[in-house]
Structure 1
Amino acid sequence: MPLADRHQISTAPRKKSNVLIVDDHPIVRQGIAQLINREDDMRVCCEAGDADQALEEIAKCDSCCNTDIALVDMSLPGISGLELVKTLRSRFPEIQILVISTHDESLYAERALRAGAKGYIMKQEATAKVLIAIRHILSGEVYLSEKMRSKILQRIIDNRFETPSSPVSHLSDKEIDVLRLIGKGLRTSEIAAELSRSVKTVEAHRANLKEKLGLKNATELVRFAVQWVESES
């Protein structure tokens, strides 16, 4: 090959992967964006503070470039991060998803994977691991912490699912959303508005929560929810 041709190949611009960041904290978005935009192989194409804005930004981005991967915070106002993952997987199956969260991975990581995410990373280690996680996922792999990978592999080896130690592990995704909002002090009508559900549906979730968690009344449910939210923060 002539030297000129080799020089052309070596200096050709490298295609960058487009990253969407969905987090309701602007400072967090800014920090992750700065980290990503320093790299030669990826760039932040758009940002969003909630699920609705994320879907709008994807539509805008796709008019000029395709979003390759979405970084989604688990705790979003309105529609939860987990519900957004399901929506993205259904409407935009070509977009890979990495969940970044403060919530305990032993409870949420498998839920995120079942919802359609390809990876889960704790915010405490995001600075050190987010670029590694993004590259793993874009190359077709799944990214989890060593601890979580070992846990899942052990279940496969044992050919069984261990009984979760926390009663919250038995709850559905919707019930966890309701429990989280109860713990944040929201009333039933406010929860219904936040989740875009009817008051009757939220009341049904509250009844299921009391039954599954072995709680006698609304007071015990609120106390449990507050303590659980505090332990997650």
Structure 2
Amino acid sequence: MPGKSCSSSPGRPARVLIVDDHPIVREGLAHLLNMHEELQVCCTASSAEEALQGMVCEPDMAIVDLSLHKDSGLDLVRTLRQHHPELAILVLSMHDESLFAERALRAGANGYLMKLEATEHIMSAIQEVLAGNIYLSAAMHGRLARALTASRNATAGSVASLSEREFEVLHLIGLGFGTREIARKLNRSIKTVEAHQANIKEKLDIHSGKALIRFAIQWIENQ
């Protein structure tokens, strides 16, 4: 998981690696991003092998499709996260976000954007992910919020009292991330994440760390 914000160093644009097996998508996305002075496409790739070779350009961010001919984009995300823990990763895919977004986050991605929404939201997604935040569509956030609200172990009032960051922490706990991993993924200290966990337990009337984990996992499984 990322250990710090992945924004570029002062004085240079953020370097971006694009991984997609369709040339027109790579070229079109590269053209779009290079129109913004704060971004620079340093390499493009059509396969997992090319993507790993492209890491020599030391990108700050990778934009990865899930379908790469014979390769799995999720496996590539896992490999990139394992070997490049500070890399910001945004999945850009044609696959339904409601089915694949959580899998992408589990694999190590920082955000998920469907290609159907890319033109309107791509820059917002890139900015959020480069800032060290998690990006999901408003619809996906709403789905998660509704699922959490419906959880039998918490009242609607207590759920509504969770801050945005507390909600993200609860979500990541349910995905199986530990405190240290959450701290890295959210670019926060371990003490800060522990404070968020304490606040969540208080607001949801949960009395132990194990109970919080059980609650979060059950919530994810019920979605």
Q: Shorter-chain TM-score: what band?
A: 0.5 to 0.7
Structure 1 partner of 2:169: none
- Does 1:52 pair with 2:49? yes
Q: Kindly report the root-mean-square deviation, in angstroms, between the aligned alpha carbons of the 2 structures.
A: 1.4
- Mapped contact 1:17–1:41 kept (Cα < 8 A): yes
Structure 2 partner of 1:110: 102
Structure 1 partner of 2:134: 142
- Mapped contact 2:88–2:132 kept (Cα < 8 A): no
Per-residue deviation at 1:158? 3.2
- Does 1:87 pair with 2:74? no
- Mapped contact 2:78–2:108 kept (Cα < 8 A): yes
Structure 1 distance, partners of 2:66, 2:83, is 19
Q: Which amino acid in structure 1 is aligned with residue 140 of structure 2?
A: M
Higher relative contact order (CA 8 A, sep 6+): 2
Deviations 1:131-189 (A, max 9, x none): 110001111111111110111122233347xxxxxxxxxxxxxxxxxxxxxxxxxxxxx
Per-residue deviation at 1:17? 0.3
Structure 2 distance, partners of 1:115, 1:153, is 22
Per-residue deviation at 1:77? 1.6
Structure 1 partner of 2:165: none
What is the 5 A alignment of 1:29-48? Answer: 29-48=26-45
Identity %: 52
Structure 2 distance, partners of 1:98, 1:37, is 17
- Please, which of 133, 144, 149 is the counterpart of residue 157 of structure 1? 149
Per-residue deviation at 1:110? 0.7
Q: Secondary structure at the match of 1:143?
A: coil
Structure 2 distance, partners of 1:158, 1:93, is 34
Q: Secondary structure at the match of 2:21?
A: coil
Runs of 4+ in 1 over 4 A off after TM superposition: none
| TM-score scaled by length of structure 1 | 0.59
Per-residue deviation at 1:95? 0.6
Structure 2 partner of 1:119: 111
Q: Secondary structure at the match of 1:70?
A: strand
Q: Which runs of 5+ in 1 are unaligned?
A: 1-12, 161-233
What is the 5 A alignment of 1:188-199? Answer: none
Structure 2 distance, partners of 1:157, 1:90, is 34
Structure 2 distance, partners of 1:31, 1:128, is 14
Deviates most, 147-156 or 45-54:
147-156
Structure 2 distance, partners of 1:133, 1:50, is 23
Per-residue deviation at 1:78? 2.2
- Please, which of 98, 101, 123 is the counterpart of residue 131 of structure 1? 123
Deviations 1:95-154 (A, max 9, x none): 111001111111001110111111111111112211110001111111111110111122
Provide the aligned length of Structure 1 versus Structure 2.
143
Per-residue deviation at 1:14? 3.6
Structure 1 partner of 2:24: 27
What is the 5 A alignment of 1:4-15? Answer: 14-15=11-12
Larger of the two Rg values belongs to structure: 1
